[in-house]
A and B are shown apart, each in its own frame.
Chain A
Amino acid sequence: MKIRGDILRTYQSIHTWTGIVTGLVLFIGFYAGSLSMFEEEISHWATPSSHHLPQIPADKFDELILKASSSFDKAQQDFTVNFNDNLSPLTWSEKGGGRGLQLNHVIRHATLSEQGELVTQANLTNELGDLIDTLHRTAGIAGKIGHEDVGVIVLGIAAILYFIALVSGIIFLLPTLVKSFFALRTNKGANRFWLDSHNLVGIISLPFHFIIAITVVVFAFHDVFYGGLSLAYGDEPLFERGEKSKVEYTIDQLPPIASYLKKVDELTEGYTVKSLDFSGLSSSRPSVGITIINHQAMMRNNTGDFIYMNPYNFEVSFSSVQMNEEDVYTPLVASFFSLHFGGYAGDLGRWLYFIMGLLGAFLFYSGNLLWLEKRRQKQAVQTKANRFMACLTIGVCLGSILAVVTTLLASKWFYLIDVQVNNHYLTCYYLTFFAALTYTFSRGASRSAIHILYALSIACLFIPLTTLLTIALPSLALWEQEPFPSFIFEFVTLVFAAAFYYGALKTKHRAYYGEPNSIWALPVIKVSEDLADKALSSA
């Protein structure tokens, strides 16, 4: 396909500049997004199994709720019923809680003993999964403007530029696309290989990237967009206001739990109920949020679909699944969410999204490397700007991953020392991140890339070792020996340990045997014997 040269050059500049400005924050957003596909599993992995109380048979839930609400005032307003075998049957907030990230959220778990007695315990919730999700949404940029996170706004702006980068990338790739789509030229130097793989990954995952770019902009700026839209609606209200009920409800009027399961069966097809989230039970605005799962359906989120209703009269106030034939917009809107969160194709879909997210991170990382190569001088010492960007790329990208892996590694140890784990997670992440960044700027990009990759490999290796230790030493056995599938986490970290080790070897090879004028080159130091002797005699 032929495109005018001036158009190509225009869009090449746009691609370069939008890419280099946004690459680093998007890198963090993408790899953390990959991890957040398994947010619930990560939190579950990190939580000591003793925190969860044993599940009870389905017909005992009403008895449990009755006993819990008569013994605990807090359980008369809000509680959650879980049907998952690995979670406590009933939980409610003891301290903290509410929307957003809660580092000091204490919840009380309740179950029934075999004799039918109420058994409860209170624990600090584990927010590791939520923290990774927050890292995904904000790239680790702290602070708030009003009630919005600064990081979310930053990523929203970055996503606008990222959309432009995608369009411009396609435009200036078009003329050579057909010819060199699947070409991965390894024989034309490292630079060509990076470029080919950057293009290949970009093209094959293009639909995914467009979806992500658009959804991120919407997630960041939906309030602003609704504000503008209200002008077009004129006197028509944007949202129907729920009529305020005059009826004051109390918890003893609550219908049996089985009636909600029956209601969900009537309303939907093929869905099973995962949990019931009751709130405001003894008030005039009671609500129950029902999380439902159907791996055959396109669910709004990878953790499920939702139905919100009044728990006393079953009136549906909001649902992410289609309730009738005329309701064409609910599934359309849900599909936008689903495409971002990977809520379709079940576990396979989640693993695919995990891989696509990592490939996305690779796209930004390789883009930065290409930028650095392009501006390279044909001399050993590169410009200050180039060195700065190289350090920033290594420090931010690898530093952030190292910080997350270190936090994952430290997680089980925190439980052995202290119970305020969530605050420790934050400290650990930022300490490691800034330490890695400082190290990169003091030692140079090339050397620190090798060292951080080694550190990553070791940290990944120590995660399964920690798990082995908690199993082997009974005094550390906060985590029961879990059934086989939970070792997937440990297995994945082993794969990554190997990948990072291989990366370190390749980076080292490039530093000593690659293009000597590259920003990644390190001077080859020949340790001759007389030098070693000199060192010995002077000591």
Chain B
Amino acid sequence: MARLSADEKIQPHWWLKTLAGIVLGLTLAYAIVAIFAWYGPGGINAPVKVQFNMWLITPIWLLVLSLSYLFKTGIKAITYLGAANVALYALFFFLRWLS
């Protein structure tokens, strides 16, 4: 493996990445769970499903948060996670609009 130059390496940017992971990671988790809640097995009214949905938030959120430090810069973390949020919420509202 060739040695990476200084700007090819991951930059620390602790605060930005952490912030992106906490806020955008959580909203991303909610987007996934919202889609699952309405369109996953059983639909929105299946008994006890609301508890399962609530349980799903944490593992998704924390996994995204933990892996946020892989982005090269803090700005990139915000951009990519933000874009993923927009895409998933667009999908969610589109599906809601369809039904």
Contact = CB atoms under 8 A, between A and B. Distances in A.
Contacts of B69: 10-11, 14, 168
Contacts of B58: 214, 217-218, 221, 225
B70 A7 contact: yes
Contacts of A333: 48, 51-52, 55
Main secondary structure of the interface of B (DSSP, over half): helix
A5 to B, nearest CB: 8
25 contacts: A10-B69, A10-B70, A11-B69, A14-B69, A163-B62, A163-B66, A164-B62, A168-B66, A214-B59, A217-B58, A218-B55, A218-B58, A222-B54, A226-B54, A228-B57, A229-B54, A231-B30, A234-B96, A239-B50, A327-B47, A327-B48, A329-B42, A329-B47, A329-B52, A330-B48
B47 to A, nearest CB: 6
Interface residues of A, number: 39
Contact of A233 (B9, B41, B44, B65): B44
Contacts of A11: 69
A217 B25 CA distance: 15
Interface in B13-68: 26, 30, 33-34, 37-38, 41-42, 44-55, 57-59, 62-63, 65-67
Contacts of B55: 218, 333, 336
A333 B42 CA distance: 15
A201 interface: no
Contact of A6 (B10, B34, B45, B59): B10
B38 to A, nearest CB: 8
Interface in A207-227: 213-214, 217-218, 221-222, 225-226
A236 interface: yes
A225 B52 CA distance: 12
A228 B92 CA distance: 15
A208 to B, nearest CB: 15
Interface residues on B, range: 35 or more
B98 interface: no
Given A225-B54, A327-B48, A233 B37 contact: yes
A532 B47 CA distance: 80
A188 interface: no
Contacts, number: 92
Interface in A1-18: 2, 4-7, 10-11, 13-14
B30 A232 contact: yes
A232 B32 CA distance: 10
Contact of A228 (B9, B30, B67): B30
Contacts of B44: 233, 236
Contacts of B59: 214
**Which residue, B38, B55, B59, B70, has most C-beta atoms of chain A within 10 A?**
B55
Nearest to B38: A232
A349 B41 CA distance: 32
Interface of A: 2, 4-7, 10-11, 13-14, 160, 163-164, 167-168, 213-214, 217-218, 221-222, 225-226, 228-229, 231-234, 236, 238-239, 326-330, 332-333, 336
Main secondary structure of the interface of A (DSSP, over half): helix
A329 B33 CA distance: 15
B88 to A, nearest CB: 12
Given A232-B34, A236-B45, A329-B42, 12 more contacts: A4-B1, A160-B62, A163-B66, A168-B66, A214-B58, A221-B58, A226-B50, A228-B30, A229-B37, A229-B50, A238-B50, A329-B52
A213 B37 CA distance: 23
Contact of B51 (A234, A326, A329): A329
B67 A6 contact: no
B37 A2 contact: no
Contacts of B51: 329, 333
Contacts of A327: 47-48
Contacts of A326: 46
Contacts of A2: 1
A509 B42 CA distance: 63
B77 to A, nearest CB: 12
Nearest to B59: A214
A226 B69 CA distance: 28
B96 to A, nearest CB: 8
Given A218-B55, A329-B48, A229 B41 contact: no
Given A7-B10, A229-B30, A336-B55, A328 B41 contact: yes
Contact of A328 (B4, B33, B42): B42
